[in-house]
Amino acid sequence: MRIEDTDQNRYVEGAEQYILDCLKWAGLEPDESPVHGGAFGPYRQSERKAMYRQYAEQLVNDGYAYYAFDTPEDLEKMRETHKSADNPSPQYDHHVRMKMRNSLNLTADETKALLDAGTRHVIRIKMPQGETIGFTDMIRGYIEFETSLVDDKVLLKADGMPTYHLANVCDDFIMQITHVIRGEEWLPSAPLHVLLYRYLGWEQEMPSFAHLPLLLKPDGNGKLSKRDGDRLGFPVFPLQWTDPKSGEISSGYRESGYIPEAFINMLALLGWNPGTEQEIFSMDQLIGAFSLERVGKSGSKFSPEKAKWFNHQYIQNKTDEELAQLFTQELTARNINADLALVTRITSLIKERITFTHELWAQSSYFFEAPETYDTKSVKDRWKADSAEKIKEISQVINQCAVWTAEEIKQKIMDFINEKQYHTGQIMNALRVVIVGAAMGADLCTIIEIIGKDETLKRIESGISKLG
């Protein structure tokens, strides 16, 4: 992991640690990084600053780059002067370079005097005219660019820091990087990078390039942005992120209840397919199956519902004990001390109903707390004029149960209902309302068994008192 922090204007406090935390949560621990060390450090580009000037100066000396002393006012004037209907955004390229204040247009003595005086300047690449630059992209095949259409990009900024173009080419060569895999928006910069490898004498060691398709908004209309998630109701960030300047909070997959393995599985299938119907992959399976050849060229539409589907699948594949361990943490935070074996049993009863771990409480709170209020719709639909009287009778049946198991409790209740010729659904629905507080939950007699006789009778009494 290399921290590309050469643009100091875009530096964000805490971002580096956030990236490390995200990778760790996702199970993608780097072998080399600013924290882990490695043979090719330092791993922050800001700590490699002196090296980049050396290579930029080499390019100038070899005639492949030049010093540019243009002020912001000079650049603005150039854009205004050369703006036209056919060219609304003029570039600093071979059309204008000889009209600007740079070492191509100044004498050697004038250039030296400006450098000796410490005049602010940048170093720009001198893009050749009339050449065709080609390379093979691992996803898109052979691609060609005309150099006359590419501007003279800045390689070294006025503050002495390199731009992405110079820094990454130098670091990828020095760190022996074999593959550069990045978004398709970097395709227009590829010819510049190919030329830099050539001009620096590293063309034989140039890495393979693969330009990935963009992730698109759920409606497929445009690139997915960090603001789309919270606007449309799904996370984009791996972990919750608070902008240190604005205080704006972006929701995270972890905090939204996603399991890391599901998150990785979902990401892997955005723009890539294994060529089979298989959708659930472990990390080892992904490593074995993945190939760039099966990455598509067109953008991949992000589906929040598919992301939820992946998480549901991984929730179901977890053992009851694993989910119980997660649930116990939340119960402890709620000051509820429950036996792990009991929590495991409860988890097994509600597991199929949940998509996210944070739903465990919503689906099982009635096991740990008596209802304080009763769902209005459930009461309206299920609590009849004679429900109180009949539920009182059921409470006596429950109180007389000598063997406290769900099966025995159910048998006693059903025997009583049949004897009285009551409507089974009506009785059981009303009983569920006073025990749970709503028309939801696991098997009712199993709930009664788990909460115990005293708690069951207490809830029935309270429900009858409140519902009348």
Beta strands, E only, 405-450: none
Helix-helix angle 320-333:340-350, to 10 degrees:
110
Rama region for 128: left / alpha / beta (φ>0; ψ in -120 to 50; rest) = beta
Active-site annotation holds for 453: no
> What count of residues does the chain have?
468
The answer to whether 434 touches 467, Cβ cutoff 8 Å, is yes
**Environment class of 221 (CB within 10 Å of its CB; exposed 0-12, middle 13-18, buried 19+):** exposed
Gyration radius of the chain's alpha carbons? 33
Phi first, then psi: give them for residue 270, nearest 5 degrees.
-90, 100
Please give the C-alpha separations between residue 330 and each of 17, 300, 338, 340, in angstroms, as whole numbers: 26, 36, 11, 13
Distance CA 389, CA 422 (A): 12
Alpha-helical segments (H) within 117-225: 164-174, 190-199
For residue 276, the one-letter residue type is: T
Q: Which among 191, 103, 119, 197 has a CA at the least distance from the CA of 151?
A: 191
Running DSSP on this structure, what letter comes out for residue 190?
A: H
Structure tokens at 357: 């771990």
Measured at the alpha carbon of residue 172, what is the angle toward residues 168 and 176, in degrees to the nearest 5?
Answer: 170
- Catalytic residue, candidates 226, 377, 392, 420: 226
Give the residue among 143, 228, 218 at the shortest CA–CA distance from 188: 143
Element (H, E) at 179: strand 179-183
Query: For 27, what's the count of Cα atoms within 13 Å in the CB-facing half-sphere?
Result: 10
Asked if the bond preceding 128 is cis, omega within 30° of 0, the reply is no
Q: Do 147 and 128 touch, CB atoms closer than 8 A?
A: yes
Number of neighbours of residue 137 by Cβ within 10 angstroms: 17
Burial class (CB in 10 A: 0-12, 13-18, 19+), 190: buried
Question: Do the Cβ atoms of 366 and 441 come closer than 8 Å?
Answer: yes
3-state secondary structure of 49: helix
Classify residue 433 as exposed, middle or buried by CB count within 10 Å of its CB (0-12, 13-18, 19+). Answer: buried
Q: Which residues are catalytic?
A: 226
